[in-house]
Amino acid sequence: MANLIDGRAIAEKVYVDLRRQIAELKSKGVTPGLAVVLVGDNPASRAYVRSKDKMSRELGLHSVKLELPAMTTQSELLSRVEELNRDPAIHGILVQSPPPKQIDEAAIVRALDPRKDVDGFHPVNVAKLVSAAADGFVPCTPLGIQRLLLESKIDISGAHVVILGRSMIVGKPLALLLMQKNKDADATVTVVHSRSRNLEKITRSADILIAAIGRANFVKSEHVRDGAVIVDVGISRVEDATNERGYRLVGDVAFDEVAKKAAAITPVPGGVGPMTIAMLMANTVKACRQVL
């Protein structure tokens, strides 16, 4: 049976280190500030924004939660982003995705000051990830996955990492991060997606298999070789009458059968999710330190 990689416990370790850094910054009279902007009332987005705001407050950051109505125009949102760009008390800005249809999300991301782009989606930060520039911001989920693996003493260097999914949020930046030439990466990376041939053959060759496709229980035991490490990024709701909410969250991996073959596996929830928020906090502290 696989070892369980406990994302909550590893996130707690990250917070211990961040609390120390935040105390040090405060002793110099600086409080890292994070602004989270929510446009509209998508319930999942609202829940994400709430937990980001709650965590910032728990850590003692200056937290600004900006909730804008669903009919907010592109120019109204742009002017709010520009205000936050100019605000010296704000070091990190995040505009929760997805925004309502009238908003051009890419244009909003381009309007962010790249030094405050703690989500790491601005083209300047994408270029910095490609060129492995240390002062760039790496998207939070990929950064959290790397940290999970490192803290779990899983050897990434030289390993064949197969990533299922090629989104700009997870798959693509994760591939760039894990193939970097440094001791925390150095992986041989393969990315598979909905057009890939022989998907199962490729996933079975993975030392580390990372699933980020958003298809509940897609990865079965036949996709996995004995002794592989499995990281499950997916979050899907499946109906569950026994749960008071009427649904439960499941990952992309059929946990019970895959856990029998794997050496280590992340659960959903409690695996990658807590690390994503922890890395948002870490990126905010980094953004603050970099402008001191």
Part of the chain binding ligand NAP (CB under 6 A), chosen from 56-64, 105-113, 151-159, 191-199: 191-199
SS3 state at 2: coil
Q: Which helix (H) or strand (E) holds 81?
A: helix 74-86
By beta-carbon proximity to ligand NAP, the closer residue of 31 and 51 is 51
Interface with ligand NAP (CB under 6 A), residue total 22
Part of the chain binding ligand NAP (CB under 6 A), chosen from 9-17, 72-80, 151-159, 230-238: 230-238
Known catalytic residue at 119: yes
Rule CB under 6 A: say whether 173 interacts with ligand NAP. no
Least separation in angstroms between residue 232's CB and ligand NAP is 8
Which of 195, 198, 241, 242 is close enough to bind ligand NAP by CB under 6 A? 195
Least separation in angstroms between residue 165's CB and ligand NAP is 3
Residue that has been written with the tokens 């989270």 in this structure? 36
Classify each residue of 11-50 as buried b or exposed e, where b means 16 or more C-beta atoms within 10 Å of its C-beta: beebbeebeebbeebeeeebebbbbbbbbbebeebeebbe
Rule CB under 6 A: say whether 189 interacts with ligand NAP. no
Rule CB under 6 A: say whether 164 interacts with ligand NAP. yes
By beta-carbon proximity to ligand NAP, the closer residue of 30 and 108 is 108
Rule CB under 6 A: say whether 194 interacts with ligand NAP. yes
Least separation in angstroms between residue 190's CB and ligand NAP is 13
Which of 45, 51, 167, 188 is close enough to bind ligand NAP by CB under 6 A? 167
Known catalytic residue at 21: no
By beta-carbon proximity to ligand NAP, the closer residue of 188 and 196 is 196
DSSP string for 169-187: TTHHHHHHHHTSSSTT---
Pairwise CA distance, residues 130 & 173, whole Å: 9
Classify each residue of 151-166 as buried b or exposed e, where b means 16 or more C-beta atoms within 10 Å of its C-beta: bbebebeebebbbbbb
Which of 55, 234, 278, 281 is close enough to bind ligand NAP by CB under 6 A? 234
Residue 14 sits at φ, ψ, to 5 deg, of -60, -40
Rule CB under 6 A: say whether 201 interacts with ligand NAP. no
Task: Using CB atoms within 10 Å of the CB of residue 146, give its burial: 0 to 12 exposed, 13 to 18 middle, 19+ buried.
Answer: buried
Which of 236, 257, 263, 270 is close enough to bind ligand NAP by CB under 6 A? 236
Which of 81, 212, 231, 258 is close enough to bind ligand NAP by CB under 6 A? 212
Known catalytic residue at 52: yes
Which of 34, 213, 230, 287 is close enough to bind ligand NAP by CB under 6 A? 213
Residue 32 sits at φ, ψ, to 5 deg, of -60, 140
- For residues 221 and 254, the answer to whether their CB atoms sit within 8 Å is yes
Nearest CA to 61 out of 97, 92, 94 is that of: 92
Residue 207 sits at φ, ψ, to 5 deg, of -80, -40
Catalytic residue selected from 53, 113, 117, 119: 119
**Sites of contact with ligand NAP (CB under 6 A):** 141, 164-167, 169-171, 193-195, 212-215, 233-236, 272-273, 276
